[in-house]
Amino acid sequence: MEVSQIMTAASRPIAPSLPPHVVAYRWTRANLFSSPGNAVLTFVTVVILGFAAYQGSSFVFATAEWEIVETNRGLFFTGRFPRDEFWRIWIALHGIAALSGLSWRLWGSLNLRLPLIFAAACVPLYILMLEGWPLLWTSTCIATFGAAYFAAWPIRFSRFSETARNVTVGLWILGFAAAMLPTALYPSFLPGQGGLFSHVPDRQWGGLFLTMVLAGVGIGVAFPLGILLAVGRASTFPVIRIFCVAYIELIRAVTLVTILFMSFFILRLAVRHETSVLGIPITGYEVSVVFMAMLGLILFSAAYIAEIVRGGLQAVPRGQVEAGQALGLGGVQVLALIVLPQALRAVIPALVSQFISLFKDTSLVFILALTDLLAIARIAPAQPGFIGDHAEALIFVALIYWVVAFSMSRASQQLERNLGVGER
């Protein structure tokens, strides 16, 4: 079905009434063997691809020892996070699952082909990772996702769809603020022990959990900050403009590794010593290393996001601003209602690239001795019993990175389609 679709699309001059094998023959002839040079190229490519596929699959299905992943799944997913506190992460995951289900129904594609490919890619993760409690929790997560999806089923095309979408966006922001930020700030601002929640030192955070917290908070904070910087750079107030330009150009001239080092070692030293003003201690806190890593990632990404958004701002015609002003809208209203919506939708592809980039850059926090997902893949093969199983660990981690990055990419394409980019 799919193959014949591709072929008819590729061989438009051929009448659709021809039998499929003739279509296939002509397509192959036209596209793969059109000249002696192309024939050789096709042959060599097939040999190389076949060899790679054979080697790859024989490794994955025969040679590889996947016990390293099965045994260490806790490590891969949460690092050294204490097992007794896993319920916190599961609660958060259920919230995310519910909101994702809701969002998928309210915004998502109605085409089921891609979700199925995506689900197929997740199956190996599922089989490898699950038994006992995690299996139960994962299943309830999926059930929550489905329940939210079907609960929102009738809303998509009803007159409440806009309200429902606004509420969902609000819930995402609320959930983000309520869960992610306090979690991120917890070690540095709240007393360590006692109360309802026991203290989990941030050094024990790790694996996919740490990667997602860093990337999630990073994107969630760097994006609005980047917008502010871009708007500031276009400001007519010299002080604001110069500050924004200086910030952006300074940060872009420095590597992320440098910023991570600086944010941790220098800032940490600066606030560590007991200093008080009028008897109120302003320093002397033990600063969270995760918070500092987060800060570094945010400060770094915000500069790049600012430049992307600036490109979008410049793409909005001057007449749009004038039309808004002429209606009596104030400066902030013109920006928020007219300019930014157009500017941001013009730069969605570049923005999402930056977000994916930030997600992958989180692996650099290993220089602060944090054990993110990639760091676990480097540590795990050092355990007795798994010595040398580097490839297995890296392939597994690569699959997770791909699943996350690919979903971000798909989500952005869906967003573009929903917003009608290029049509309006």
In the complex, the smallest distance separating the C-beta of residue 415 from other proteins, rounded to whole angstroms, is 13
Chain residues in the site for other proteins (CB under 8 A): 317, 319-320, 322-330, 333, 337-338, 341-342, 345, 419-420, 423-424
In the complex, the smallest distance separating the C-beta of residue 318 from other proteins, rounded to whole angstroms, is 9
Name which of 408 and 419 has its Cβ closer to other proteins.
Answer: 419
In the complex, the smallest distance separating the C-beta of residue 342 from other proteins, rounded to whole angstroms, is 5
In the complex, the smallest distance separating the C-beta of residue 157 from other proteins, rounded to whole angstroms, is 14
Name which of 224 and 330 has its Cβ closer to other proteins.
Answer: 330
Name which of 191 and 319 has its Cβ closer to other proteins.
Answer: 319
Name which of 14 and 329 has its Cβ closer to other proteins.
Answer: 329
Name which of 91 and 323 has its Cβ closer to other proteins.
Answer: 323
What CA–CA distance (Å, rounded) separates 218 from 301? 8
In the complex, the smallest distance separating the C-beta of residue 114 from other proteins, rounded to whole angstroms, is 26
Q: Which residues contact 179 (CB under 8 A, 6 or more apart)?
A: 92, 95
Name which of 93 and 329 has its Cβ closer to other proteins.
Answer: 329
In the complex, the smallest distance separating the C-beta of residue 408 from other proteins, rounded to whole angstroms, is 23
